[in-house]
Amino acid sequence: MAVSGHAEIDIAATPEQVMDGIAAIDALPTWSSAHKSASVETTYDDGRPKRVRMAVSVMGITDEQVVEYSWEGSEKVTWTLIESTQQKAQDGSYVLTATDKGTHAAFDLTVDLKIPVPGFIVKKAQKQAIETATKGIKKFVEGR
């Protein structure tokens, strides 16, 4: 069964700076404790990551996954799961809106696991992933 989550956060940086932080795939393990490694396999002509391989560990569940990113300027990035050892599907996005003080970021994530996992573990892992995706990217971008 797929689970979805949504969160929003304000970041004291321009949308371009936030998007550059999201695109810094090699730095992902520095701001996301769940990501043990992340590497870009292919890029678009503009140098932005297209296909990315990651090793992730959340709540004792370890996953090797490959996702494919789509970039829409400095306003939106989405990704879709291509391969995974533990997931059937994953879709995520950041939508960025410029504000007077920087950027308002909306994050969405939907994950469908292959393996049965107790509901309380799924909810806790989901909460951890959403907090990392918002608070982690905020700290990373603002600290650059």
Secondary structure (DSSP) of 102-115: EEEEEEEEEEEESS
SS3 136: helix
pLDDT digits (tens, 9 = 90+) for 101-142: 999 999 999 999 898 877 778 788 888 889 999 999 999 999
Q: Extract the tokens encoding 39.
A: 């590497």
**C-beta separation of 70 from 52 below 8 A:** no
**C-beta separation of 113 from 93 below 8 A:** no
Domains in the chain and their CATH numbers? 2-142 (3.30.530.20)
pLDDT in tens, the chain (144 residues): 788 999 999 999 999 999 999 999 999 999 999 999 999 999 999 999 999 999 999 878 899 999 999 999 999 999 999 999 999 999 999 999 999 999 999 999 999 989 887 777 878 888 888 999 999 999 999 998
In this structure, what DSSP letter does residue 31 have? H
Residue 64, classified by CB atoms within 10 Å of its CB into exposed (0-12), middle (13-18) or buried (19+), is: middle
**C-beta separation of 50 from 44 below 8 A:** yes
Give the contacts of 2 (CB within 8 A, at least 6 positions apart): 89, 110, 111, 112
The pairing of beta strand 49-58 with beta strand 61-72: antiparallel
